[in-house]
């Protein structure tokens, strides 16, 4: 009789425990759970840890890896297969040329509620928005810029445009980056574009070589001009110093001449003779009163002048 009385409470307790245990929800690190109770969103979303939910379809949960980086590929790198339209992956540039472009978009869930509720499925819509952003970025540039120097600029413009439209549509994603993995002309004209790019590369190479030669020549000419200018300044400075020294010497001689005129004249005469004789190879010293015949040198005595002439 006692056992019969205990069976019912134990059964009820077991049912309650099983009901409570069945509602336990474990959220792993880096994961967010979006809960809809009878269709109404429960905010905020559940973070990592233990939570309890109602069973039997009352609570619907969606798990979102908030830190997971997802990748979406748009466009085509090669010819379109039979599963695509012939023009799939082709975009028009601002100068009315077609390019086949492939790009990758990296994104993650920034707002889990919008990520789950606003767009299901998300990636097809995000791919269409990315293609539209890529079309707008390509339409503002020439084909040469897209193929060569402006690929990074195109990727940045697509990233900003796609982030703006994603926020406007409340897709709940954050665009982490866009990368143009392949840009090439259509297969029908690929050989002609390759030849044109080769010619442009050769032209640019020659221009760079000419600029390098011009810069080298200009640098050499500037160095030579600077050297000549510095040499001229040095010569002018030496000449000025020499002239100043000569002027000082002349002033010194003038002062000496004012005190002892005859002695100063004799000194100047002797110094002049010393300077001249130093440059003469052969010297003849005559005793006082002797003369030398200079006719061998072509020097003849002038005839004496007659009186009255």
pLDDT, tens digit (0-9, with 9 covering 90-100), for 181-237: 988 887 777 777 778 778 888 888 999 999 999 999 999 999 999 999 999 999 999
Residue 106 is predicted with a pLDDT of: 95
Q: Top-level CATH class of 70-185? A: alpha beta
pTM: 0.57
Residue ranges per structural domain of the chain: 12-65, 70-185
Closest to 145 measured CA to CA, from 154, 155, 156: 154
Residue 268 is predicted with a pLDDT of: 81
Q: Which residue has the higher pLDDT, 76 or 120?
A: 76
**pLDDT band of 82, cuts 50, 70, 90:** low
Q: Which residue has the higher pLDDT, 307 or 241?
A: 241
What residues are paired with 75 via a beta bridge? 102
The pLDDT tens digits of the residues spanning 118-146 come to: 766 888 899 999 999 999 999 989 888 88
Torsion of CA 92, 96, 100, 101, to 10 degrees: -50
Max mean pLDDT among 41-45, 163-167, 262-266, 283-287 falls in 163-167
């Amino acid at each position: 009789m006692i056992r019969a009385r205990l069976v019912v409470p134990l059964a009820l307790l077991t049912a309650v425990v099983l009901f409570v245990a069945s509602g336990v929800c474990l959220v792993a690190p880096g994961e967010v759970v979006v809960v809809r109770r009878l269709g109404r969103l429960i905010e905020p979303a559940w973070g990592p840890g233990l939570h309890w939910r109602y069973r039997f379809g009352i609570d619907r949960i969606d798990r979102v890896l908030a830190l997971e980086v997802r990748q979406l590929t748009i466009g085509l790198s090669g010819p379109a297969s039979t599963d695509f339209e012939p023009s799939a992956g082709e975009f028009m540039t601002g100068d009315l040329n077609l390019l086949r472009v492939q790009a990758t978009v990296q994104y993650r869930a920034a707002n889990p509620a919008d990520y789950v509720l606003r767009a299901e499925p998300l990636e097809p819509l995000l791919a269409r928005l990315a293609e539209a952003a890529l079309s707008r970025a390509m339409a503002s540039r020439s084909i040469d810029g897209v193929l060569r120097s402006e690929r990074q600029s195109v990727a940045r413009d697509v990233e900003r445009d796609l982030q703006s439209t994603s926020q406007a549509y409340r897709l709940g994603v954050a665009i982490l980056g866009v990368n143009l993995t392949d840009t090439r002309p259509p297969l029908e004209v690929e050989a002609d574009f390759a030849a044109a790019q080769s010619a442009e590369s050769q032209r640019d190479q020659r221009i760079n070589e000419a600029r390098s030669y011009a810069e080298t020549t200009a640098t050499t000419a500037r160095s030579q001009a600077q050297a000549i200018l510095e040499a001229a300044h040095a010569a002018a400075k030496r000449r000025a110093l020499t002239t100043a020294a000569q002027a000082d010497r002349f002033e010194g001689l003038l002062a000496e001449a004012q005190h002892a005129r005859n002695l100063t004249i004799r000194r100047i005469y002797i110094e002049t003779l010393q300077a001249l004789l130093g440059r003469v190879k052969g010297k003849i010293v005559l005793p006082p009163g002797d003369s030398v015949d200079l006719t061998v040198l072509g020097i003849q005595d002038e005839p004496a002048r007659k009186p009255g002439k």
